[in-house]
Structure 1
């Protein structure tokens, strides 16, 4: 069976939901993926799974980055959905050279607007932009 081509936004959203499920359920990844497909009628593809796995593999490092750029909130005081949103963006900024940093940040803000409240949107934007300013990881095309 061939998988449907998802937009980058859909792929990231699927990765976000996979990460959220991974946090809530001690099941195997295959079971989580089956649950996502059945319970949420969520489409995902190999890129979604690869992104979720990459974030999970670098979780300690990504948590450390969030902690260092979040002087006002301790990690255990940040909702998991907000953490997952930031981790995806940070992972893409650090490990996905084909994704411009500003795109990763903008996508995170879009997810925050959908899944978080207004104060969280500002907080997520602040953390990601502070990291971006301190860590220009790749060439940024002129917008």
Structure 2
């Protein structure tokens, strides 16, 4: 990720961190590997650009809550199972749900908007609308979901 956008403190922007997390989750899914194992192999490797703290937080958070996240996605992605979703969309949605429910420093509209933006960059023409719809449905009940976590 050389040339990645930098935040005001010199680290990668949160958008860049989210994009990197999507890439790691996607690669792990394609390889059939655990994302945190793949991440651990990348941290400190001289062959890849440095991985920022927020990327690590996202990958570890999604992995920790994966079963619950996938359950919510299956319930709210009308007519789709997570296994049938394009893998990039699944990775984007997983990060979006994690930020909606477990990252209290990220406002719900920001979590959704960032996920839609990454879907525009990395996935199909239909993906932004799909991601917006699924996360919008989950976002509309996020307060109730957070109350029982």
Q: 1:76 aligns with which of 72, 78, 83?
A: 83
Note the residue ranges of structure 2 that are not aligned, 5 or more in a row.
1-8, 145-149
Gaps of 5+ in 1: 138-143
Q: Is the 8 A contact 1:22 1:32 kept in 2?
A: no
Deviation string, structure 1 residues 81-104 (Cα, Å, up to 9, x no partner):
101101111101111111001000
Q: TM-score, normalised by structure 2?
A: 0.78
Matching residue of 1:123: 130
Matched, 1:16 2:26: no
What's the RMSD between the two structures over aligned residues? Answer: 2.3
2:68 equivalent to 1:58: no
For residues 142 and 106 of structure 2, what CA distance do their matches in structure 1 show?
A: 15
**For residues 62 and 122 of structure 1, what CA distance do their matches in structure 2 show?**
19
Report the TM-score, using the length of structure 1 for normalisation.
0.81
Residue in 2 aligned with 1:140? none
Q: Distance in 2 between matches of 1:102 and 1:112?
A: 15
Q: Which residue of the partner structure matches residue 99 of structure 1? A: 106
CA distance change for structure 1 residues 70 and 126 in 2, over 3 Å: closer, same or farther?
same
